[in-house]
Structure 1
Amino acid sequence: MFKRAVLLVGVLLVVTAGAKPVVVGGTVASTTEAPWAIALNNTQSVSSSGRYCGAALVAPDKIVTAAHCMDEAVSTYYAVQGRANLEDDSVGQVSAISKAWVHPGYNTKDHRYDVAVLTLATPFVGVPVLPLETRARADRRGAVPTVYGWGDTQGTGPDETLQKAAVPDLGDQACLAVKSYVSNGYAAATNVCAGYLAGGTDACQGDSGGPLVLNGRLLGVVSWGQGCAQPGKPGVYTEIAGAAKALLQQVR
């Protein structure tokens, strides 16, 4: 069950079909360069590897993901760190999830505050963490953050393997200019609009909750979009700064 909230014909849907993994139009990434990249797996996944969503390690015992990923019992989730190829269980470490906090402002109607903090039953001690970007001004047109994930590649990359893609920050107006995005809740205060207006590179199903990184900080998490890598349809990310106060209370 691979997930990313996808906007189709003006309606927000959560895709749970067995899509192939990884970022569309990206390149292979290593867990050495992104040790804080976490695969949030689930025992109910249709994949033998358990892949379900992405997340980022922000403290030894805390990961940040998308709220819409949390649609199963907490006991069915587990975090995997240090495993670029999810089918290679000889590497990396695994932890169950002991607690889940979903932002109280999140709702499935407009997907604002689409963010959650999960507590690891077994902390990933000694692993570098990704600091939260709490400054709203970091989300500015022209910046080029990088998204990481194991989601659908649509044939542009290898299956089951962590990938990354540079997705320019287009500025809020690029998404606010798309009528269907406005009607489905895009908000400058809580979202980041990133990608290419020409299409070709984007997060996709299975990348939900994965980190959008800028200058070594967690700028946002993969939230939703209209299709994947479609012209004129950028990716929508939950902006960490827009939920910083509540997130910091959970992470500290």
Structure 2
Amino acid sequence: MVKRMVALIAVLVLCTAGTTEPMVVGGTLASVSEAPWAVVLTNKDAVRDSKRWCGGVLVAPNKVLTAAHCAGRSASSYGVIQGRADLADHSLGKFSAVSKIWVHPAYSTTTNRNDFAVLTLTKPMTGVPLLRLETSPRADRRGAVPTVYGWGDTNGTGPEDTLQKLAVPDLGDATCLGIKGYAENGYTAAANICAGYLDGTGDACQGDSGGPLVMNGRLLGIVSWGRGCAEPQYPGVYAEIAPVAKTLLEQVR
């Protein structure tokens, strides 16, 4: 299974630093006005000109929530961009360096559980709307249709390094638990959300890791892992916010 980040050794991918494979696959263009809290995590070691590494969510003026598997480098190597739908347009958006990284103490690279990290910005992004965390486990329910946002790879379904969005139906935990390899890779109903399309219509992809899965104005989950991108019968796996909301809130207040 491959994490959806940049250059990771795995089988499920969502955000890989320096990959040239897809973004949100099958999505549509999104504006920064509809998702002002969505941010891009850059890294000096990324091979792309844009230095895109992962996605993230502004949850406090000086705090960004992202995936733990995106946060394995030194804090000084990261940057955060907000308000720039097209990463090639340097005339728009805000930028901040990162001063500190907190990784969930129970994060496991083996099971991919607790895939959360909080970055502290050197320059608070004041005046930018924040996204509230979902605190109810009941929000993860089969049939709900949250939306994922990201600048990741698109597999040719959209422009590179440009903010995309995709509505991804919540398929329910039983769906992912029934997929060969998912349970072995760490999927659990207590910590993950299974969302996407079994026919391969669309999915998050490399470069989207850590990005927001949003429903009813709250952060339901963040992009974590999956098998390939938009592969039939292999939906995306998201790290669920509600079970760890209390721990995360302690880091962002």
Q: Place the TM-score, normalised by the shorter chain, in its bin.
A: over 0.9
Report the equivalent of 2:203: 202
Report the equivalent of 1:128: 129
Shift of 1:179: 2.3
Shift of 1:22: 2.3
Shift of 1:201: 0.3
Q: CA RMSD in A?
A: 1.9
Shift of 1:13: 10
What CA deviation, in whole Å up to 9, does each residue of 1:197-250 have, x standing for no partner? 111200000000000000010000000000110111010000001211210110
Preserved CA contact (<8 Å) 2:15 2:205: no
Preserved CA contact (<8 Å) 1:62 1:119: yes
Report the equivalent of 2:60: 59
Q: 1:148 to 1:40 in 2, by over 3 A?
A: same
Query: In 2, Cα distance between the equivalents of 1:51 and 1:13?
Result: 13
Query: In 1, Cα distance between the equivalents of 2:8 and 2:56?
Result: 15
Query: In 2, Cα distance between the equivalents of 1:104 and 1:119?
Result: 17
Q: TM-score scaled by structure 1? A: 0.95
Report the equivalent of 1:145: 146
Query: In 2, Cα distance between the equivalents of 1:114 and 1:215?
Result: 22
Within 5 Å, give how 1:40-189 maps onto structure 2. Answer: 40-189=41-190
What CA deviation, in whole Å up to 9, does each residue of 1:132-186 have, x standing for no partner? 0011110001110000001110000011100000000001001000120011110
Q: Which amino acid aligns with 1:55?
A: G
Shift of 1:14: 7.8
Query: In 2, Cα distance between the equivalents of 1:16 and 1:50?
Result: 8
What CA deviation, in whole Å up to 9, does each residue of 1:35-56 have, x standing for no partner? 0010011111101111000000
Within 5 Å, give how 1:206-221 maps onto structure 2. Answer: 206-221=207-222
Within 5 Å, give how 1:11-26 maps onto structure 2. Answer: 15-20=16-21, 22-26=23-27
Q: Which amino acid aligns with 1:36?
A: W
3-state DSSP of counterpart to 2:225: strand
What CA deviation, in whole Å up to 9, does each residue of 1:62-101 have, x standing for no partner? 1110000012111000100000000111110100111111
Report the equivalent of 2:6: 3
Query: In 1, Cα distance between the equivalents of 2:244 and 2:118?
Result: 12
3-state DSSP of counterpart to 2:128: coil
3-state DSSP of counterpart to 2:100: strand
Q: 1:176 to 1:198 in 2, by over 3 A?
A: same
Q: Which amino acid aligns with 1:195?
A: G
Report the equivalent of 1:236: 237
Preserved CA contact (<8 Å) 1:37 1:81: yes
Preserved CA contact (<8 Å) 1:5 1:208: no
Query: In 2, Cα distance between the equivalents of 1:130 and 1:7?
Result: 30
Q: Which amino acid aligns with 1:155?
A: G
Q: 1:12 to 1:153 in 2, by over 3 A?
A: closer
Q: 1:248 to 1:2 in 2, by over 3 A?
A: closer
Query: In 1, Cα distance between the equivalents of 2:196 and 2:213?
Result: 11
Query: In 1, Cα distance between the equivalents of 2:166 and 2:160?
Result: 15
Preserved CA contact (<8 Å) 2:56 2:64: yes
3-state DSSP of counterpart to 1:247: helix
Aligned residues: 250
3-state DSSP of counterpart to 1:179: coil
3-state DSSP of counterpart to 2:145: coil
Note the residue ranges of structure 2 that are not aligned, 5 or more in a row: none
